[in-house]
Amino acid sequence: MLRGFAAEHPVRQTMLLGVQMELKSKVIAVVGGATGIGKATAEICATRGATVYILDYNAADGLATAEATKGTFIQVNVTDEASVAAAFAKIGETSGHLDGLVQTAGILKGAFLTIEEFTPEVFRQVYEVNVTGSFLCAKYAVPLMKKAGKGAIVLTSSAAAYGASSSYAYGSSKGGVSSLGITMQAKLADDNIRVNVVHPGSIATRMKLAVVEEELLRFGKPGSHGNAKLGEPEGVGKLMAWLMSDDADYVRGALHTR
């Protein structure tokens, strides 16, 4: 029950209820939804009325997020085209279409290694997950959006795409994600599919906290990657969920968070 100002002002009350259910009857896939920003996004989307699919390789946390959101967990390896195709085929079989894709799956390897120490194998692994994974998820999400007549895609880049990163592979791969999103936006506009790229800053995810811990182990003190000013995943999740809504229809291009 809404109380106070909202209860005394019907228009305001209607607006608040609209925000709470702004994703009602939308079908949204959150890739990387087991933990971190993906989990926060899935939970907020579900709270706002969406049917949520949690796609992740991490089955234990993915199932927990699915239970919390009353959604469906699908295990997927974003670097394997057959795995991605099967995951989105399951969504099509179950829901018939897809309204939104939030791609948050990503890895960071090689933090604080010099360029001489960095191996091509690690470099390729990071690109396979971050860039190829984003491409494959979009590739198989788009046909389901075309069935709906419109759609929204959000790719997750990073402030590391345009600033300093602890890893050569991570920073440059996120630049690739940003460019992929820009290209997708131009090419998918005629299909009524909107594409945005979100660049989170320093957020308290498992991946970020692992970098902070490694920095302490290597250098004995927190540096530029310290956790004193880390934001919460829910802050980014709220933005992701809003970008899935029709209220964001006029938003284009890149968005940046703290």
End-to-end CA distance of the chain: 32
- Specify whether the CB–CB gap between 178 and 103 falls below 8 A: no
In angstroms, rounded to a whole number, what is the distance separating the alpha carbons of residues 25 and 194?
18
Separation of CA 218 from chain center: 30
- Residue that is written with structure tokens 């939104």 in the block: 100
**Where does the chain have alpha helices with state H?**
5-8, 10-20, 36-47, 59-69, 81-95, 120-127, 133-148, 168-188, 206-219, 233-243
Q: What is the DSSP letter of 161?
A: G
Q: Which residue from 126, 137, 77 is spatially nearest to 101, judged by alpha carbons? A: 137
Token code pair at residue 132:
């190829």
| Residue type at position 13 | Q
Which residues have CB under 8 Å from 84's CB, separation 6+?
Answer: 76, 77, 78, 133, 136, 137, 139, 140
170 noted as active-site residue: yes
53, 127, 168, 170: the active-site residue: 170
Question: What single letter denotes the amino acid at residue 61?
Answer: D
Which residues are known to be catalytic? 170
